[in-house]
Structure 1
Amino acid sequence: MSVGEFGIFLNGPYGVGKTSALAHLGDRFESAGLPFALFDVDWFHCSWPVAPDDPANTGVEAENMRAVWQNYRRSGPKTPIIAGVIETTGDHERYESCFGIDLAVVHLDASSEVAAARLQTRYAAGRRNALRWHLENLQRITERLRRACSCELVIDTDDKSSERVADIIFEHFSPRLLPSSIE
């Protein structure tokens, strides 16, 4: 498989380290000379008010991601690496439609205690409402993802640094991305 024929989607509940692993995975791709484009889904649906026919802003998110992906693609093939949450088959299909390629899903997981502690360090005192919302929904989304996850790779991040998580992901996918002369 050559670069650009599939993307990597870092999936998991809040606080498992998706965004941190995403940044380190970009570093790994760059060091290996592999073209990539990073996407943190959260930045593609941050607008208010939402459209009455798109209350979760998923339509806006999809269009924004599709447009940015097309801009990145103009300079050549790349592997999209996405951090977000896929809760349903419909979510997975929507993201694949945005990129026009298959997405290999990596499920990142953490215990509730570790995820909650990470969330508390993420949100400053002035963002208590955001922290409360994430903590209140953490268990629900964790359980839903554990039941619905159809993944290629599962990583427990409790005792792993984000660099180590990125290493595991890169090691898993590199045989399909690196030319055989580099392997």
Structure 2
Amino acid sequence: MMSGEFGIFLNGSYGVGKSSTLEHLADLFAEAKLPFSLFDADWFHRSWPPASTDPQNVLTEADNIRAVWRNYRQTGPRTPIIAGVITQADDLERYEQCFELPLRIVHLTASSDVAEHRLRGRYTPHQHRALAWHLDDHQRLTRELHQFTSYDLVLDTDHSTPAEVATLVFEEFAPQLHG
């Protein structure tokens, strides 16, 4: 690991703008010619059924992330930018082990009304079960995220576009990176 290397982890509940911010952050990194790799954690654990020894698919997710990160690193040093959920120290430790880098954690927040509006816009009428699950679980996850306090930056996304949020994250961390 080189000095000045770290990953950026966009953390938050459903509907706060993690995935959208991730895309805009990639654009800013590319414009600045800072090497990066994107990871939306959902895509690394989304399989069914989970192993009986890994009911939440967290070990599978970690193995998948590790493999992809290893492939990205073969092309040279870069900053991993991750969208996902960290609610406890064990989660943070697992992700830092995957990337073999310290992570700067950005807690993205949104009011319940805004998150619900965004979630309703994300799902089609045929995906009503997924929408209902995310709406039901949003408050629980939000409470857990507020109990986790290892945040390097906290941003309320209610009145900001994903591009504006990405700019704030970029301005906070890009000067610390060695491109």
TM-score, length of structure 1 as denominator length: 0.95
In the alignment, structure 1 segments of 5+ residues that lack a partner are none
Question: Structure 2 CA distance, aligned partners of 1:20 and 1:165?
Answer: 9
Amino acid of the residue matched to residue 168 of structure 1?
Answer: L
**Deviation at 1:144?**
1.0
2:17 maps to which residue? 17
Q: Evaluate the alpha carbon distance shift between residue 71 and residue 3 of structure 1 in structure 2; reply closer, same or farther with a 3 A threshold.
A: farther
SS of 1:81's partner is: strand
Query: What corresponds to 1:170 in structure 2?
Result: 170
Instruction: Kindly provide the CA deviation profile for residues 97-125 of structure 1, in whole angstroms up to 9, marking residues without a partner as x.
Output: 10011001000000010001100101111
Letter in 1 for 2:108: L
Aligned partners of 1:9 and 1:103 also within 8 Å: yes
Unaligned runs of 5+ in 2: none
Whether the aligned pair in 1 keeps the contact of 2:5 and 2:177 (CA below 8 Å) is: no
Q: 1:96 to 1:51 in 2, by over 3 A?
A: same
Determine helix, strand or coil for the equivalent of 1:15: coil
Cα distance, 1:149 vs structure 2: 3.0
Q: Which residue of 2 aligns with 1:114?
A: 114
| Other-structure match for 1:48 | 48
Aligned residue number for residue 125 of structure 1: 125
Task: Specify the code of the residue in structure 2 equivalent to 1:14.
Answer: Y
Alignment check: 8 A CA contact 2:12 2:145 kept: yes
The alpha carbon displacement at 1:66 in A equals: 0.3
1:134 corresponds in structure 2 to 134
Query: 1:75–1:146: structure 2 CA closer, same or farther, 3 Å change rule?
Result: same
Cα contact 2:5–2:178 (8 A) shared by 1: no
Give the whole-Å Cα distance in 1 for the aligned partners of 2:125 and 2:3: 42
Aligned residue for 1:146? 146
Query: How far apart are the structure 2 equivalents of 1:115 and 1:20?
Result: 13
CA distance in 1: counterparts of 2:3 and 2:123, whole angstroms: 36
SS at match of 2:48: coil
The amino acid of 1:59's aligned partner reads L
Paired residues of 2:104 and 2:152 also in contact (CA < 8 A): yes
Q: Counterparts of 2:171 and 2:57 in 1: how far apart (Å)?
A: 34
Query: Residues of 2 paired with 1:178 and 1:109: CA distance?
Result: 29
Please report the TM-score for the alignment, with normalisation by the length of structure 2.
Answer: 0.97
- 1:112-154: CA deviations, max 9, x gaps? 1000110010111111111011000000100110111310000
Cα offset, 1:2, TM superposition:
6.3
Over 3 Å counting, the alpha-carbon distance change for 1:124 and 1:3 in structure 2 is farther
What whole-Å deviation, never above 9, does each CA across 1:57-78 have from its counterpart, x for those lacking one? 0010000000000000000000
Aligned length: 179
4+ aligned runs moved over 6 Å, structure 1:
1-4
Three-state SS of the structure 1 residue aligned to 2:75 is coil
Deviation at 1:37, TM superposition (A): 0.2
**Corresponding residue SS for 2:98:** helix
- 8 Å CA contact 1:15–1:119 kept in 2: the answer is yes
Greater shift after overlay, 142-151 or 58-67? 142-151
Aligned-residue sequence identity (percent) comes to 56
Cα distance, 1:3 vs structure 2: 8.1
User: RMSD of aligned C-alpha atoms?
Assistant: 1.4
Aligned to 2:97: 97
